[in-house]
Structure 1
Amino acid sequence: MSTGTTTLGEARPEWAQRQERERRHRRAKSRLRLPFAVAAACQAVLLLWWAAAYPAFTAAPPDGSAPLYAAALRAVHAGPLTLGQTVAVAFGLGYLVAALARFGVRGRHSAPVALALAALPPTGSLVVSLGPAVPCAAAALLLTGAGLRLLARHGEGTARRGGPAQRLDLAALFAAVLLLALTGTRGAGTGLVATLVLVAALPRVRARLALLAALALAVPIALALLGHPADRGGSLHTLRAADLALARHTDPAAPADPALTALAPPEVWAAAGADCSATAALTDRWNATAARRGADQLAAAWRKLLRDHPDRVLDARLCRGRLAWSAWAGGSGPHAATLVPDTAGSSRGLWRPLHAAADWSRTLLRAPQLDWLLWRGALWAYAGLAAALLYAWRHRLPALVPVAGAAVLATQLALTASAADQDYRSMGAALLVGPLLATLATVRTRRAA
């Protein structure tokens, strides 16, 4: 029959179609209301932190490991840069809350968590600090939110349709990988690993994800080719020297290398090997000028160690990467505890009482008994992963686990390979993403689309 080709929408009267369009419009507005409200509330709280810490709560690390971040700092000054960081993190918190809502997490569970993350001293002061860890944490929020929203579209069968919402998610993912790539080698490695996980878990958008990630990771390479004054050596020589120090401590009977004793006396190498949690155990006491001159000899000695005793190199990297995997700080050596940088001397704040209150609250929560809960991100990485596992088991959605954990897992792997100390800011991604992912445990039944 010819009438069999008439669609249901065409058969419905005009007033019914108009009501359906209005319902869809109201539904879209209600979905936007929650993330905008969360982002606005978090921005208001973070502005208080910014006013209390102006121009920045803690100073940028002077090791030259993130030359593009240092260039941005020179270009726009500390105050505007930290203000931009508050905007990025507030948007990322709202965006991730919106992504979790697609999986049934109610705003009354996720919104208070996001607001607490903006208000608590460990995360609030992190956002207004200088250092590449802050854009890395903001990128983790964007990357996790984009991955979850793309996975939700895959489950709804709308991944191939495209549309403005999907283009926004792909743009957020591109911005996240670009932020990571611009923060240095560790950030680029984080972005690469996270993208590989997402590409494997999201087959419907695999080609677009790979292309966008490749473009983002190519940006710092292009800048270097155009003559950006990046530190091409990075911090590799300090990481390699710390590996050699632990190897010498493990095998004290090995003959001393003259190239190494020129950098520091044998007793300094021995002490640094006994305190393997940070490269500073050695670099605080070595001859920096001689280290720069002997970089080639140092690299040759490290390559020999990697060839003959790769287990000792892995031992050293795991010792310094303890921050990424252990909820408790190490018990030996002055550098084994979680590093919480002191307030920068230039941090005065726009209003002195507000600055004093922020500094007091941050100092109060630095009690050693609270270290595992507030300052080390490993606990929250595991809590978020456990909630994702629980949700995946309840709803038969195994792809949720790699998508939800991609950014945090990539951060942990990158720290294992290149951690220089136990600075809590390096696990900022887990401190911000983990608690929000934990709200997945509150979902028992899937909300209707």
Structure 2
Amino acid sequence: MPTAVRAVTRGWGRLSASGRLALSVFLLCQAVLLVHWAAFYPALYSPDSFTYVWQVSTGNWVSDHSIAYDALIWLSLKGTGSVAVLTLLQTLTASLFLADIAVSLHRIGVRARWTVAAAVAAVVMPSMGTFMVFLWKDVPYVLFSMLVFSGCIRAGEFAAARVKQARATGVRVKAVPLDRPAARAALWRVTAGFTGILVFRNNGYPAIIIIAVGLLLLVRGLGLKFLVAGIATTVMALVLTLFVYPAVGVKLPHEDAVIALNVADIAVAYKESPSSFTPADLKVMEAVAPLSHWKGRAANCWDADWAMAPPMNRPAVTANGSELLSLWSRVLTRTPQDVIGARLCRSQIAWGITSGPKSLQGETNIKIPWVTKSMLHWTYDHANWSYHGTNIKQSPYYHVLKKQTPLSDRLNKWERTYSLDSATMAWQWFVWRGAIWAYLCYALVLRVAWVRRSKVWLTLLLPTLGLQLTVIAANPAQVWRYMAGPLIIGVMSLPLATVTRRRDRALAASVPEQDSAGDAARDVAVPGQSGQEIIATGQPS
């Protein structure tokens, strides 16, 4: 046997069971993601991608997107002249976090083989695999949501161990000494995940609140620290947005973009309850668009862009922003059902399993995997004094975005076909829509909590719940990527279906024994008698 092979074999044998699982998942997922990366080298683009590159390459930094992600794009362009390094880093991070989720699931009693299968399936799916090579701020947003999911699994494991020890010793749970390493493992994942969610998207605050409060209620002995982490990261993000970014010359987003959802709500309410609008209300509305637009195209609740499209005068919306917000407040007070109905309709991507009517642009908005002519002629058309009429061709990096240069044309053709075929109506609900995966995650987690007779395992559903409710609260259109987090977390939740009382009893009985690889069966949370939770550490409890 060659020396190199023997060295690898010995190194593999020295790894713990968790180490072998993590490395296996990382290498397998990265191999698949490298195929996507090579097929769409240097990246997949959207109009947002062009916005990022134009902003960072022309000195027009605006906080309407993510300044942190813009900075990563700037570093990649300045350092290498391309964005390939950034998209490669995204694939590496995805593989790392998938490996971490796999290990976390294995620690709570899921078979390693099923965690490997779920991770590979996640990156094989065109929605998730190609997503990781997009030049989009949503990619790191989803990646850090995955890290929060792993942290919530560890938090559930920690809480289960405290419940077990309290029952075994006959003391109150709060009197059980903290398992410091387990607490740190959960806390740093959740805190780092919160930070990533908040710096890579401007609307991550509701998700953080829901997850932090849920952990406070479910995880005794550590819940307050999770809440503090949520508050601290939220304050940090607000300080960056309100003070630090403006101090270094970052422009605030246009007001017409900030209040677009409020404008769309008003339009729906005007169509549904026109008699509730006073002459003063109508005067405010006519200052920015004809009433025919307010009651017509703008009242389409499926897509807020329809409301903000011509003849809506966006500069006038900016000038009359305070009056429009006051009108929205009055509408919310008078006819709250109209505003709630508009939000639910517009957020159908978050809760609907199938698409809405195509005629009203209610169908799933899926980005095709190549550069379109409309992107190449992209113009930042917001009428604003700072960069009105600026064209993407003015960017010195326009050539980077002009076309893809796949490392294999044949692979690129195959991947295009694969993505488009999966976007047909027959497969769309399963591959590209996150709602079905959110519901599946909830069902699987609730089943685990029932099987193990412990509510602490509900920590596993908190990330999906937070992400889904955030989209329901404020969503502009039926864009599939807004539910990408619940989609990938849902796929990684599938191995929870293998958790059964019989398997838990088998694990509990084999705690002191050696596994088939010769390692102690350690780091696996399994239930003891009468629903008690125990932690298998390789030693008798």
Q: Same fold per TM (> 0.5)?
A: yes
Of 215, 221, 231, which residue of structure 1 is paired with 2:252? 231
1:328 partner SS:
coil
Shift in alpha-carbon separation, 1:342–1:270, aligned structure 2, 3 A: farther
Of 208, 222, 243, which residue of structure 1 is paired with 2:265? 243
Of 420, 426, 431, which residue of structure 1 is paired with 2:487? 431
Deviation per CA, 1:41-85: give whole Å up to 9, x if none. Answer: 112211221222233213263596423233443343433332222
Residue pairs, 1:3-402, within 5 angstroms: 29-59=16-46, 61=48, 62=51, 65-68=64-67, 69-77=69-77, 78-157=83-162, 160-164=177-181, 166-224=183-241, 225-226=243-244, 227=247, 229=250, 231=252, 235-253=257-275, 254=277, 257-285=282-310, 286-331=312-357, 333-345=359-371, 346=401, 348=404, 349-401=406-458
Q: State how far apart, in whole Å, the 2-side matches of 1:265 and 1:359 are.
A: 42
- In structure 2, the partner of 1:3 is none
Offset at residue 365 of structure 1 (A) = 0.8
Q: Which amino acid aligns with 2:76?
A: V
Aligned length: 423
TM-score, with structure 1 as normaliser? 0.87
Q: Which amino acid aligns with 1:281?
A: W
Deviation per CA, 1:84-117: give whole Å up to 9, x if none. Answer: 2222221221111111112221122121111011
Shift in alpha-carbon separation, 1:212–1:230, aligned structure 2, 3 A: farther
Q: State how far apart, in whole Å, the 2-side matches of 1:42 and 1:36 are.
A: 10
Offset at residue 162 of structure 1 (A) = 4.3
- In structure 1, the partner of 2:169 is none
Please identify, of 41-50 and 338-347, the stretch whose mean Cα deviation from structure 2 is larger.
338-347
Q: State how far apart, in whole Å, the 1-side matches of 2:300 and 2:428 are.
A: 20
- In structure 1, the partner of 2:516 is none
Q: Which amino acid aligns with 1:375?
A: W
Q: Which amino acid aligns with 1:392?
A: A
CA contact under 8 A between 1:388 and 1:438: conserved in structure 2? no
Shift in alpha-carbon separation, 1:180–1:411, aligned structure 2, 3 A: same
1:340 partner SS:
coil
Deviation per CA, 1:199-233: give whole Å up to 9, x if none. Answer: 21111212322232222222222323222525356
Offset at residue 132 of structure 1 (A) = 2.9
Offset at residue 27 of structure 1 (A) = 10
Percentage identity across paired residues of the two chains: 25
CA contact under 8 A between 1:274 and 1:333: conserved in structure 2? no
CA contact under 8 A between 1:99 and 1:145: conserved in structure 2? yes
Shift in alpha-carbon separation, 1:165–1:412, aligned structure 2, 3 A: same
CA contact under 8 A between 1:96 and 1:142: conserved in structure 2? yes
Structure 2 residues without counterparts, runs of 5 or longer: 1-12, 52-61, 78-82, 166-175, 372-400, 509-535, 537-541
TM-score, with structure 2 as normaliser? 0.73
Shift in alpha-carbon separation, 1:34–1:60, aligned structure 2, 3 A: farther
Q: State how far apart, in whole Å, the 2-side matches of 1:413 and 1:27 are.
A: 44
Structure 1 residues without counterparts, runs of 5 or longer: 1-25
CA contact under 8 A between 1:259 and 1:297: conserved in structure 2? yes
Please identify, of 199-208 and 165-174, the stretch whose mean Cα deviation from structure 2 is larger.
165-174
CA contact under 8 A between 1:60 and 1:130: conserved in structure 2? no
Shift in alpha-carbon separation, 1:259–1:274, aligned structure 2, 3 A: closer
